[in-house]
Each structure stands twice: as structure tokens, then as C-alpha cells.
């Protein structure tokens, strides 16, 4: 008897597991597992959400006109070259559906964001991971793995979960090494946090080349992860393709109005950035002081290696933290089983995490 079967590749997918949010028996856990903004959404975004509630029976603006104009004004971009999505996750999936399929290869770096592999498999494409150097994407290794079947290269810059980044010249070198029919997707989800002169989120590359896309999100610095809102910047032919395949109402009104309000609140954005500037280095220093290897990060989280010395494994540390109501992100799914990732939290959350790990290491 014929059996119902999904397309090849689908059953190879281990469903993405988001950062845990709860610990049994703990009323309010300290959630440092999903790189969210610890200071929460802008009050203006909250007010916009509340104001939109009575209109919940109306379909959203399918073109996200006001939102695209607001993004364009804020980042000095042509709104017609912006596409909005239900989180940048949706945009990654749309790009994959549009440009890769069975027989095609999709390339990314070994500890790159997990969604690249999962969404490549979902469209029947073959995912390929290139090795990294010191937990940083390696341009030569990526270029060495190009084949005639490679259709797309994904680079999270900065990368989650390593926190490392490629400088503008390296990014340009990666692009220069790609054939014109290979699409480079620069996932700049954490761009707003980066404080480095040699960093570019990638808009300049999009302007210079036809085969580059930059994706961004409102889930991190803007503190709107629950609303699912992302956007991308691309050349008109790519934009045209995405409009053909996206859902006609893929971004809801709450996300659109909150996004516009959040963009408008520069003070809140600055507060989020200043908070990160203070606590990211603090976390890194404190954890290094405990004898842990902390990988340099330019985003809003740190990757910590436990290295299993004296039986102090990352898994044991994770359990120890959880018993104290603190949730870190386990990294086995990223091929980093001896690491934990900790997002920058509020001051008391950061202090609690460091105090708990200090006890753990003692």
C-alpha cells in the first residue's frame, strides 16, 4: 500500500529548538538562552500595540508600506528594496525556497546559525558546512567548498552562537570569490550591537552587487521577538522574486505598528545598546576570571567553553544554573557540546549567572 511521504530531506531535519524559557518549580526564571533584549520593548511600541488591538479584525497592510518607509528612513535605504517578513527566519526560508532546491548546495560556516541547514533541508537542497578558524568564519575555507552546484552562501555576521564577525574587507573578499549566480545572504541580526570600525552590516555590498542580500531583525536590539518581525535589503530582481512567493499578509499589523514605533524611539535603542556595551564586557571578564574560555563577542551574548576540566562539563554547568533558575543555551546542536551560550541579561541576572558559575567552578 502506498504511504504518505514528505519530500526527500524533510525527515533529516531535527526541528529547531528555541531557548528554553521555564524551569520547573521556578516562578520567574532568568532567561539567558535566546539573545533577547533584556530591557524589553520600547514603551512606544507597547502603546502602538495597544492602539492596534481593536483593529484585530482587519487584515494587515500586505505591502507593509509605512514600516518599509520607516526602515528606509532610519537606515537610509530605498523602501522599494526592502522586504518584511515574520522574523528574519521567514526571510531565510523564503530566500531558500526561491533560490535553492533538490540538487543544489547551500554553504555556510561550521558553527553558523542553525536555520541555514534546517531550511536548506526543507527545500530539498544539500547543506554544506565549511570549517572555521578559531570559531570564526573562514573565507578561504568557504570559497574552497564552492562547487558548480552551490547556489547560496549564508553568513551570519556577527555569528550566532560564536559572537565572532568578519570585517568588511573579508566580507568583500568572500563576495569577490563567488560566481555571479551564487547568492550571498548576509544575516546581520545582531548588527545594531556591533561597535567596531571595520564592521559593515552589508548594505554597501548589496548596493554594489546583484547577488547579495542583507537580512535584519526586530527581535534583538528592538526587543520585539514575540511579534516576529524581520526585514531584508536586496536588489529589485530579488525583491520581485520574494514578493511572488511570500504570503500576502506575512507580517501582522501588531508587528508593523510596533516596528514603526520602535524605530522612532532612538532613546530606547540607545539604552539597549548602552546596556549591552556595559554588560557584555563585564560578563566576558567575570567568566574569564573563573577560568572559563570566553570567545570574543561583538553581539549580545557570549559563548563559554567548559572544556570538561575536573568533570565540570557544560551539561553539568547548565543543570547547575537551572537548579538556580538560570537558563543558558546548550550548544550540542551547534557541534559545541562543551560550550554554553549566555545572553546579556539585566544587571541582577548577569550577576546571578556569574555568582552561580563561580560556585560551580569552586
Ligand X SMILES: Cc1ncc(COP(=O)(O)O)c(C=O)c1O
- Binding positions for ligand X, rule: CB under 6 A: 35, 87-89, 113, 156, 160, 187, 189, 217, 219, 225, 230
**Residue 110 or 290: which CB sits closer to ligand X?**
110
Nearer residue to ligand X within complex by CB, 152 or 356: 152
**Alpha-carbon distance 20 to 253, whole Å?**
27
Q: Between 156 and 260, whose beta carbon lies closer to ligand X?
A: 156
What is the total residue count of the chain?
Answer: 362
108 close to 333: Cβ distance less than 8 angstroms: no
Nearest residue (CB) to ligand X, 232 versus 283: 232
Backbone conformation region of residue 22, classed left if phi is above 0, alpha if psi is from -120 to 50, else beta: beta
Phi then psi dihedrals of residue 128, to 5 deg: -130, 125
Min CB(156)–ligand X separation in Å: 4
Minimal distance, residue 200 CB to ligand X, in Å: 16
CB of 63 to ligand X, least distance (A): 20
Residue whose C-beta lies closest to ligand X: 87
**What's the min distance (Å) between Cβ of 187 and ligand X?**
5
Q: How far is CA 247 from CA 83, 130, 234, 242, in A?
A: 12, 32, 18, 10
Cβ nearer to ligand X, comparing 217 with 256: 217
Region class of 357: left (phi > 0), else alpha (psi between -120 and 50), else beta: alpha
In whole angstroms, the minimum distance from the beta carbon of 153 to ligand X comes to 14
CA distance 302 to 314: 14
Residue 143 CB neighbour total at 10 angstroms: 16
Amino acid at each position: 500500500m502506498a504511504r504518505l511521504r514528505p519530500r526527500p530531506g524533510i525527515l533529516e531535519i531535527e526541528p529547531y529548538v528555541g531557548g528554553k524559557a521555564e524551569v520547573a518549580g521556578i516562578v520567574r526564571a532568568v532567561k539567558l538562552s535566546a539573545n533577547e533584549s533584556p530591557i524589553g520593548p520600547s514603551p512606544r511600541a507597547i502603546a502602538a500595540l495597544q492602539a492596534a488591538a481593536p483593529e484585530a479584525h482587519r487584515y494587515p497592510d500586505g505591502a507593509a508600506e509605512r514600516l518599509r518607509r520607516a526602515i528606509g528612513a532610519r537606515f537610509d535605504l530605498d523602501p522599494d528594496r526592502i522586504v518584511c517578513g515574520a522574523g528574519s527566519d521567514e526571510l531565510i526560508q523564503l530566500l531558500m525556497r526561491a533560490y535553492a532546491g533538490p540538487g543544489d548546495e547551500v554553504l555556510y560556516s561550521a558553527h553558523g546559525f542553525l536555520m541555514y541547514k534546517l531550511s536548506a533541508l526543507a527545500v530539498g537542497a544539500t547543506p554544506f558546512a565549511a570549517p572555521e578558524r578559531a570559531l570564526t568564519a573562514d573565507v578561504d575555507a568557504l570559497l574552497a567548498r564552492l562547487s558548480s552546484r552551490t547556489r547560496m552562501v549564508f553568513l551570519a555576521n556577527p555569528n550566532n552562537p560564536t559572537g565572532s564577525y568578519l570585517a568588511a574587507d573579508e566580507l568583500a573578499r568572500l563576495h569577490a570569490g563567488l560566481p555571479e549566480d551564487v547568492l550571498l545572504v548576509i544575516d546581520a541580526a545582531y548588527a545594531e550591537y556591533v561597535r567596531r570600525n571595520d564592521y559593515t552590516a552589508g548594505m554597501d555590498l548589496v548596493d554594489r552587487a546583484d547577488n547579495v542580500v542583507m537580512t535584519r531583525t526586530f527581535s534583538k536590539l528592538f526587543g520585539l521577538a514575540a511579534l516576529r518581525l524581520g526585514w531584508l535589503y536586496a536588489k529589485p530582481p530579488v525583491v520581485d522574486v520574494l514578493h511572488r512567493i511570500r504570503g500576502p499578509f506575512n507580517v501582522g499589523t501588531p508587528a508593523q505598528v510596533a516596528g514603526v514605533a520602535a524605530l522612532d524611539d532612538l532613546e530606547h535603542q540607545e539604552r539597549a545598546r548602552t546596556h549591552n556595551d556595559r554588560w557584555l564586557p563585564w560578563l566576558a571578564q567575570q567568566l574569564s576570571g573563573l577560568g572559563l574560555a570566553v570567545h570574543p563577542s561583538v553581539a549580545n551574548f557570549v559563548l563559554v567553553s567548559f572544556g570538561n576540566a575536573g568533570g565540570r562539563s557544560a551539561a553539568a554547568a547548565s543543570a547547575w544554573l537551572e537548579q538556580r533558575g538560570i537558563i543558558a543555551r546548550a550548544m550540542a546542536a551547534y557541534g559545541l557540546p562543551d560550550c554554553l551560550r549566555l545572553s546579556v541579561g539585566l544587571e541582577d541576572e548577569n550577576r546571578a549567572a556569574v555568582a552561580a558559575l563561580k560556585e560551580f567552578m569552586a
